[in-house]
Amino acid sequence: MNEYPSPDIADVELVDVLRALADPVRLQIVGMLADGKPYPKGDCLMGLDLSKSTASHHFRTLREAGLTRTIVHGRTHDIQLRRDELDEKFPGLLPSVLGSAPPT
């Protein structure tokens, strides 16, 4: 069912995480996922003006970089920041990125 694979945390490279974060859209998405709870993808796009395909591309980028996981839930998908794993592998990274005040 859940055939949207995210990489094993052991294979996640810092430079790939940084590259995934180095985009305004994805940074904002990650900001909305900060608490580590799953959210419907649609909700993450509030305020963002993107086509469906572009949004899908960003979700895929985040997932393949190891930042998020996708949970299929009927016809909607929930997306979740892999906080615990990432905090263990890159201590302090997410807090610093998320703590640096997004301008709304």
Partner DNA sequence: CGAACGGTTCGATGGTTGTCGAACTGTCTT
Partner DNA sequence: AAGACAGTTCGACAACCATCGAACCGTTCG
Q: Which is nearer to a second copy, 57 or 89 (CB)?
A: 89
Q: Which is nearer to a second copy, 30 or 79 (CB)?
A: 30
Query: How is 38-95 classified by DSSP, letter by letter?
Result: -EEHHHHTTT----HHHHHHHHHHHHHTTSEEEEEETTEEEEEE-HHHHHHHSTTHHH
The DSSP letter of residue 100 is S
Q: Which of DNA, a second copy, none binds 99 (CB below 5-8 Å, type-dependent)? A: a second copy
Give the residue from 2, 75, 89 showing the smallest Cα distance to 63. 2
Q: Which of 7, 13, 37, 76 binds DNA (CB under 7 A)?
A: 76
Q: How far is the CB of 104 from a second copy (least distance, A)?
A: 14
**Cβ proximity of 97 and 30 under 8 Å:** yes
Q: Which of 24, 47, 49, 53 binds a second copy (CB under 8 A)?
A: 24
- Tell me if 82 contacts DNA by CB under 7 A: no
Q: Which of DNA, a second copy, none binds 36 (CB below 5-8 Å, type-dependent)? A: none
